Amino acid sequence: MAGHSRWRTLQAKRLAETGDVREHPEYEQAGRDLRLGDQLRAIRRSRNLTQKEVAERAGISQPALSRIELGGGVPDIETLRRLGNAMGVRFHVIVGNEEADHDENLLVSLAKPRLAGTSTEASHNAHNDS
């Protein structure tokens, strides 16, 4: 997370400037957005891909990908799926109460369902029945 390694320092400075030392949900959200952007950029770079390549493969604009990588907001699940496909990775996203004492797995598959009769097994069975 080299791009935003001083987030806590910046956050503390802004809090001190306003005289309000309470934590704000906006700061927490901004921190999550920045961390997600840093992670996506690190994955893209580790695969030696440019923003332009990933954006084109994912069907989004390069400025939109740049904005995501810079912490300008969290993409929706479909956009994350397309970014993962564009970079050749599958993402596991954890949502919910970070302090909860129990985890539940919820699989949301956005893959296209296979049509009946198109699987290898179905075509194999049809061939053997002849």
Could you list the beta-strand ranges (E) of 12-128: none
Say which residue, 116 or 89, is predicted with more confidence: 89
Does 81 score more than 60 pLDDT? yes
Number of domains in the chain: 1
Does 51 score more than 80 pLDDT? yes
Q: Is residue 121 part of a domain?
A: no
Average pLDDT over residues 9-21: 66
pLDDT at residue 20 in the model: 61
Q: Is residue 40 part of a domain?
A: yes
Q: Is residue 119 part of a domain?
A: no
CATH code, domain with 36: 1.10.260.40
Look up tokens 């084109």; give the residue: 56
Q: Is residue 20 part of a domain?
A: yes
Q: Which of 20-34, 40-54, 101-115 has the lowest mean pLDDT?
A: 101-115
Long-range Cβ contact pairs of 43-51 (< 8 A, separation 24 or more): 43/87, 43/89, 44/69, 44/87, 47/87, 47/88, 47/89, 49/86, 49/87
Q: Which domain holds residue 55?
A: 2-95
Q: Is residue 110 part of a domain?
A: no
Q: What is the mean pLDDT of the chain?
A: 76
